[in-house]
């Protein structure tokens, strides 16, 4: 959250840029819990906006750096996503390239993040189905658009925020699996198929009855569509480890998500690598730079054992994986 002086300067600049009307009382509230950006909500009258400024150093225990210019990439990605699915992403209202700040519409007040619902044991496979269809649309449309493929060709943010802190850090901890993890990364980085969200996780899905939004597109890049699938599935597996009594519901969300995606997508995600990427990401969620904070010590050991089992070949398919939880 900016300090008072920075906040006053931000509000003044938004007035000068025509985002805020002059001489209006603006209510300010920070979003808490994020590690990669300062995000604040502004409201005045019946208007609600979100202002986001990416951080150069993320708020985690270990040093984790990435250029804040990625917020400009996010604005471009949201513009693309909204053209394809206007009801499922916010609208970008302002892009300030000088201060690396973007402004977008806020989600309707009845929406809440899917992660919170999942952690409460609320599992709705209809959300998984909707996400699979939406992701298939975004992947398919971008894969067929040469201009999109050109604009998002830079993958440095993905390397900084996913490959290094997740895959490479996990490989450093699990040295015996480093060659396997390295091969997974090499195949993943060798694919430049479509626009990949890069952070397709429950915390970035906002849900309400009959509607949803997907937010936080700052890691968007042209890459391997398999990653978005594996990223969401790995989060659902972690939830099942955390709440084994609800594992059947998390599994149903995962299965309908994948079935709807593969039934609608025209690009080539790689089912054979999906499980291996999930295995890498499970290790990253306990031994990477951004561990899942809701997992307790015994749960971390379970995630670690499952991840290692996948990468060692002991766990050979999704049914076996879910059966170990």
Q: Above 60 in pLDDT, residue 52?
A: yes
Banded pLDDT at 237 (limits 50, 70, 90): very high
Task: State the chain's mean pLDDT as an integer.
Answer: 91
Q: Above 80 in pLDDT, residue 187?
A: yes
Q: What is the pLDDT of residues 159-180, one digit of tens each?
A: 988 999 999 999 999 999 999 9
Quick one: which of 37, 30, 29 has its CA closest to 59? 37
Task: Map out the domains of the chain with their CATH numbers.
Answer: 4-105 (3.30.200.20), 112-323 (3.90.1200.10)
Edge-to-edge strand ranges of the sheet holding 205-208: 112-113, 205-208, 211-214
- Characterize 162-182 residue by residue with b for buried, 16 or more Cβ atoms within 10 angstroms of its Cβ, and e for exposed: bbbbbbbbbbeebeebeebbe
Which residues partner with 57 through β-bridges?
A: 65
Q: How far apart are CA 31 and CA 262, in angstroms?
A: 34
Helices (H), 214-317: 225-242, 247-264, 271-287, 297-312
* Residue 192: per-residue pLDDT: 97
Q: What is the pLDDT of residues 74-100, one digit of tens each?
A: 999 999 999 999 999 999 999 998 888
Q: Strand, helix or coil at 59? A: coil
Tell me the two tokens of residue 208. 């309400």
* Residue 55: per-residue pLDDT: 61
* Residue 63: per-residue pLDDT: 44
Q: How far apart are CA 191 and CA 128, in angstroms?
A: 25
Banded pLDDT at 32 (limits 50, 70, 90): low
Tell me the two tokens of residue 213. 């939004």
Q: What is the pLDDT of residues 109-161, one digit of tens each?
A: 999 999 999 999 999 999 999 999 999 999 999 999 999 999 999 999 899 88
| Cα-to-chain-centroid distance, residue 220 | 9
Q: Region 251-257: what's the mean pLDDT?
A: 98
Q: Above 80 in pLDDT, residue 61?
A: no
Which residues partner with 29 through β-bridges?
A: 41
Q: Region 31-47: what's the mean pLDDT?
A: 74
* Residue 3: per-residue pLDDT: 62
Q: Above 60 in pLDDT, residue 65?
A: no
Q: What is the pLDDT of residues 281-306, one digit of tens each?
A: 999 999 998 899 999 999 999 999 99
Q: Above 50 in pLDDT, residue 232?
A: yes
Sequence-separated (6 or more) residues with CB below 8 Å from residue 12: none
Q: Are 274 and 229 in contact (CB under 8 A)?
A: yes
CA triple 111-115-116, angle to 5 deg: 70
Q: How far apart are CA 294 and CA 303, in angstroms?
A: 12
- Give all strands (DSSP E) within 144-199, no chain letters: 194-196
* Residue 59: per-residue pLDDT: 42
Q: Strand, helix or coil at 37? A: strand
Type and span of the H or E element at 112: strand 112-113
């Amino acid at each position: 959250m900016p300090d008072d002086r920075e906040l006053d300067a931000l509000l003044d600049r938004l007035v000068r840029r025509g985002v805020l009307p002059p001489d209006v009382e603006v209510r300010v509230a920070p979003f808490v819990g994020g590690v990669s950006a300062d995000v604040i909500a502004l409201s005045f009258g019946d208007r609600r906006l979100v202002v986001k400024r990416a951080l150069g150093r993320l708020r985690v225990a270990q040093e984790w750096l990435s250029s804040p210019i990625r917020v400009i990439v996010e604005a471009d990605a949201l513009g693309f996503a909204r053209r394809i699915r206007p009801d499922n992403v916010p609208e970008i209202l302002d892009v300030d390239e000088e201060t690396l700040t973007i402004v977008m519409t806020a989600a309707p007040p009845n929406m809440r993040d899917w992660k919170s619902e999942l952690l409460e044991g609320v599992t709705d496979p209809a959300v998984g189905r909707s996400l699979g269809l939406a992701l298939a649309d975004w992947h398919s449309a971008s894969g067929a658009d040469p201009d999109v493929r050109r604009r998002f060709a830079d993958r440095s943010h993905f390397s900084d925020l996913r490959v290094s802190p997740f895959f490479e850090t996990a490989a450093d901890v699990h040295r015996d699996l480093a060659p396997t993890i390295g091969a997974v990364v090499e195949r993943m980085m060798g694919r430049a198929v479509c626009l990949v969200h890069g952070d397709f996780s429950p915390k970035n899905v906002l849900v309400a009855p009959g509607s949803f939004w997907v937010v936080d597109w700052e890691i968007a890049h042209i890459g391997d569509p398999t990653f978005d699938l594996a990223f969401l599935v790995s989060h659902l597996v972690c939830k099942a480890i955390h709440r084994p009594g609800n594992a059947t519901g998390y599994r149903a969300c995962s299965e309908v998500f994948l079935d709807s995606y593969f039934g609608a997508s025209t690009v080539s995600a790689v089912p054979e690598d999906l499980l291996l990427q999930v295995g890498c990401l499970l290790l990253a969620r306990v031994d990477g730079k951004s561990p899942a904070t809701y997992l307790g010590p015994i749960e971390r050991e379970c995630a670690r054992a499952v991840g290692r089992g996948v990468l060692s070949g002991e766990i050979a398919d999704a049914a076996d994986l879910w059966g170990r939880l």
